[in-house]
Amino acid sequence: MSITVGRLKLAQPLLNGSGTWDAEQAHRIFGDANPGLAGFVTKTITPEPRAGNPAPRIAPSRQGLLNSIGLPGPGREAFLATVLPYLRTIVAGPIICSVGGFSLADYVDTVAALEGDPACAAIELNVSCPNVESGCASIGGDAGETERLTHAARQVTTKPLFVKLSASVADIATIAKAAEAGGADALVCVNTVKATAVDRRTGKSWFGGGGGGLSGAAIKPVALHAVVACREVTTLDIIGLGGVESADDVRDLLAAGACAVALGTALFRNPALAYTISADLAP
């Protein structure tokens, strides 16, 4: 079942979604056994260390999960110096580094820093962040910003370059074409869907950081739509994710045009899920 996605070779078509799989804890539970995942997608790396949003950051939702985590992380320098070398010792398969930021330079500097590190097999641009310099609320919501960012990243890396799209955009096909024009090798469809929970007393967002994103089973049809829409307009490989909970969900995303599939929220409930699904998928 080995496949190639955007020039990256994978032993089988299952990955994790960025920010939904704790490789260290998985190593503690499963040891060196790879629990059904072909590689590991890191939590999004930002240039500076970030504490993330104030609590509350997670809320349940029917058939899904709401989060407003706010990209906590150690920052680029610590990631390169300690996190990535450690991941390389515990993760089987290629490591795909998810990159985020708040300006073009934020992304480009991180991508350039990863270029020289053989532990990073591929780069995923999380374009669901704002560009504070241009005043753009979400880079992935704007075709011009997406193409500019992808092109700038392409100039500083030879590694496979994936662009992770947001479903909360007016026309995802336009953004997919922009990523392709910028030089992406593959698309990842999709990030969480904009959503929130409300504090009934105030009418304001219940989350400490405001905003929020919906993931889990509720968004599988959104992910399917995104894969179909992108498949129609680009020849890029697509990693489908959103609400996958079973082998049939994987088959649906593959049938829609994805060549690999990632598991996200469902892994919180069942860390062995990828193992079960890959066994179900085996011919």
The CB-of-255 to ligand FMN minimum distance in angstroms stands at 17
Q: Which residue number is nearest to ligand FMN in terms of Cβ?
A: 19
CA–CA separation, 243 and 223 (whole Å)? 8
Any contact of residue 184 with ligand FMN (CB under 6 A)? no
Is 136 catalytic? The answer is no
In this structure, the number of other CB atoms found within 10 A of the CB of residue 192 comes to 27
Catalytic member of 97, 129, 189, 259: 129
Query: Comparing C-alpha atoms, which of 158, 73, 72, 164 is closest to residue 117?
Result: 158
Q: Quick one: which of 34, 53, 265, 278 contacts ligand FMN (CB under 6 A)? A: 265
Which residue, 80 or 244, has its beta carbon nearer to ligand FMN? Answer: 244
Any contact of residue 67 with ligand FMN (CB under 6 A)? yes
Site string for ligand FMN, 128-167 (x = CB under 6 A): ------------------------------------x---
Any contact of residue 69 with ligand FMN (CB under 6 A)? yes
Which residue, 244 or 260, has its beta carbon nearer to ligand FMN? Answer: 244
Segments in 119-244 forming alpha helices (H) = 143-156, 172-182, 220-233
Pairing relationship of beta strands 58-61 and 122-126 according to DSSP bridges: unpaired
Pairing relationship of beta strands 122-126 and 95-99 according to DSSP bridges: parallel
Longest alpha-carbon distance in the chain? 54
Any contact of residue 219 with ligand FMN (CB under 6 A)? yes
Which residue, 182 or 216, has its beta carbon nearer to ligand FMN? Answer: 216
CA–CA separation, 28 and 39 (whole Å)? 17
Residues with active-site annotation:
129
